[in-house]
């Protein structure tokens, strides 16, 4: 990347698994340097390769994330119902392929049972405490969600509130939430 180019920043994606449900919530802000370019981007999506529902949230370059989502769909079509296996295969390709290794994004994926974070470093991580968070406001959302896990709130309520808290702290995150909920 050109050092003079200010770069795209932003995004907070948080996923919470509680009582048989997983909620994935993402903000809508896209920033270029200190400028908000768009406030209503949709960074959480549901894909259904072969009728098998998977919810994905992404942080980083949008084009790169879509490339990775397409690859994940292909992996899931080859291994229906096996999200962990498809995620590991994607991470292997991402790490070793000359084209893919330059992609700048992170993914949270879930089928309601598995909850995984996939990175370009070849990582497929199952987060502790049934919470995953990525992006510039990820750590804020993670801390907020962990503080609410022992309350009576649902997975969706915790994830939404965690994003709201992150958006109050992180200048690259807004409160314009996209939410997808999937049962385990």
Q: What is the pLDDT of residues 75-104, one digit of tens each?
A: 999 988 999 999 999 999 888 888 887 888
Distance, CA of 73 to CA of 147 (rounded, Å): 34
Q: Which fold has domain 8-183?
A: 3.60.20
Q: Which candidate in 11, 110, 173, 178 is catalytic?
A: 11
> What pLDDT sits at residue 101?
78
* C-beta of residue 169 within 8 angstroms of C-beta of residue 137: yes
Q: Could you tell me the maximum CA-CA distance found in the chain, to the nearest angstrom?
A: 48
CB neighbours of residue 157 within 10 Å: 15
Reduced to 3 states, what is the DSSP secondary structure of residue 123?
Answer: coil
Would you state the pLDDT for residue 8? 46
Residue 57 has pLDDT above 70, yes or no: yes
CB contact at 8 A, 54 and 184: no
Pairwise pLDDT comparison (36 vs 109), residue with the higher score: 109
For residue 11, indicate whether it is catalytic.
Answer: yes
Residue spans per domain, the chain: 8-183
pTM attached to this predicted model = 0.92
For the chain, the average pLDDT equals 90
């Amino acid at each position: 990347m050109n050092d003079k180019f200010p770069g795209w920043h932003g995004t907070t994606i948080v996923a919470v698994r509680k009582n048989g449900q997983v909620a994935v919530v993402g903000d809508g802000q896209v920033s270029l340097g200190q400028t908000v370019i768009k406030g209503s981007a949709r960074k959480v999506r549901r894909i259904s390769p072969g009728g098998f529902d998977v919810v994905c949230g992404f942080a980083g370059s949008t084009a790169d994330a879509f490339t990775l989502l397409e690859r994940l769909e292909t992996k899931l079509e080859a291994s229906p119902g096996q999200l962990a296996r498809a995620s590991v295969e994607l991470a292997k390709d991402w790490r070793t392929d000359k084209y893919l290794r330059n992609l700048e994004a992170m993914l949270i994926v879930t089928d309601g049972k598995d909850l995984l974070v996939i990175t370009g470093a070849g990582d497929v991580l199952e987060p502790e405490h049934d919470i995953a968070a990525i992006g510039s406001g990820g750590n804020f959302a993670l801390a907020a969600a962990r503080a609410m896990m022992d309350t009576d709130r649902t997975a969706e309520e915790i994830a939404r509130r965690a994003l709201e808290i992150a958006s109050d702290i992180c200048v690259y995150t807004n409160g314009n939430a996209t939410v997808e909920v999937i049962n385990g």
